[in-house]
Amino acid sequence: MSSDYSLVFPRAHGEPLGHAKFRAQPEDFYVDEDLGFTCDGAGEHVYLHIEKRGDNTEWLARNIARLAGVETRDVGYCGLKDRHAVTRQWFSVYFPKGDEPDWQALNSESVTLLAVERHRQKLRRGQHKSNRFVIVLREVQAQRDALEQRLQTVARQGVPNYFGEQRFGIDGGNLAAANRMLIEGIKVKNRHKRSLYLSSARSYLFNQVLAARIDQGCWRTPLPGDVLVDGAPTGPLWGRGRALSDDKALALEEQALAPWKPWLEPLEFTGLKQDRRALVSLPQQLSWQWLGDDLQLAFALGVGAYATAVLRELLELQTEPIML
């Protein structure tokens, strides 16, 4: 088992067709969260629909808790949205009785309150239906015909459902921390950090299996013994319990995870349960248009899928320093 946590994974549709500037400004990466349901209009939880620019989801949740006079744990949201972006998402606040604060006080140069509703349940992680992205890639240098053909392929076949690099921390730092926990037995008292490191480890193992299936040309094709979701193959999210796959699928997974065997048993004793994740991420309603030399993409992805998994199948991205 190597301590070099490579974050370079094989692509499914060939090498990048050129390069472009990515996130030159927050407005170049727009995310709109779709809950998939409407609020009841009554209940113990206040729902806040908020647009933020260049702000961290957890920071905003703490500000909401402070304004409401509640504990941070009483503020719910479906997921962490990119900081270097313009994002719209929902927050819930447990506020069963009493006079509500002036929620407009949340407004600032970077935060805009869009709506206030009431609902009967707290928002939970992963509860939303999808995220809608509008992404602008600047100064694209690629043959347009080839790039549009690649986009058509992605629309038909999808992309590998990799966990994005941000999952693993700067230079894979979360993986190094996970290794210290799992192998060296170092205790992490902070529950949030502990959960983050363990999640990073099992996400990395999933990526290893997905990479192996891409190398063997079967990332979209079910193998004997595969666990299918909507007819498509899945990969393991490691944890306690027997492997859910069997036969050739299990053999491939065991081979891919063999170098990481020292992580497997300790992960089983963390309380995490075996689970599965789709190997394929299919962008919904994928469209694009040229804005001079810039390319604007629009698409929706299901819960837990990364927009960067789509972009990496198209172009080499040059991340620009963001001015906030």
For residue 47, the 8-state DSSP code is E
* Tokens found for residue 38: 């409407």
Q: What is the pLDDT of residue 4?
A: 77
**Separation between Cα atoms, residue 158 and residue 160, nearest integer Å:** 7
Query: Which parts of the chain register pLDDT below 70?
Result: 1-3, 320-324
In the chain, ranges of CATH 3.30.2350.20 domains? 37-119
**Separation between Cα atoms, residue 228 and residue 209, nearest integer Å:** 15
Q: What is the pLDDT of residue 3?
A: 58
Which of these is catalytic: 28, 32, 40, 82?
A: 82
**Separation between Cα atoms, residue 131 and residue 184, nearest integer Å:** 38
Angle in degrees, 0-180, between the axes of helices 247-257 and 191-215, rounded to the nearest 10: 120
Q: Which helix (H) or strand (E) holds 261?
A: helix 261-268
- Please give the CATH superfamily to which domain 164-275 belongs: TruD, insertion domain (3.30.2340.10)
275 is catalytic: no
Q: How far is CA 131 from the centre of its chain?
A: 10
- Tell me which architecture the domain covering 1-34+133-158+282-324 has in CATH: 2-Layer Sandwich (3.30)
What's the predicted TM-score (pTM) here?
0.91
CA angle 68, 73, 75 (to 5 degrees): 50
In the chain, ranges of CATH 3.30.1360 domains? 1-34+133-158+282-324
**Separation between Cα atoms, residue 318 and residue 28, nearest integer Å:** 13
Of 3.30.2350.20, 3.40.718.10, 3.30.470.20, 1.25.10.10, the CATH number of 37-119 is 3.30.2350.20
CA angle 68, 46, 85 (to 5 degrees): 85
| Single-letter amino acid code for the residue at 176 | A
Q: What is the pLDDT of residue 1?
A: 58
In the chain, ranges of CATH 3.30.2340.10 domains? 164-275
φ, ψ for residue 204, nearest 5 deg: -65, -40
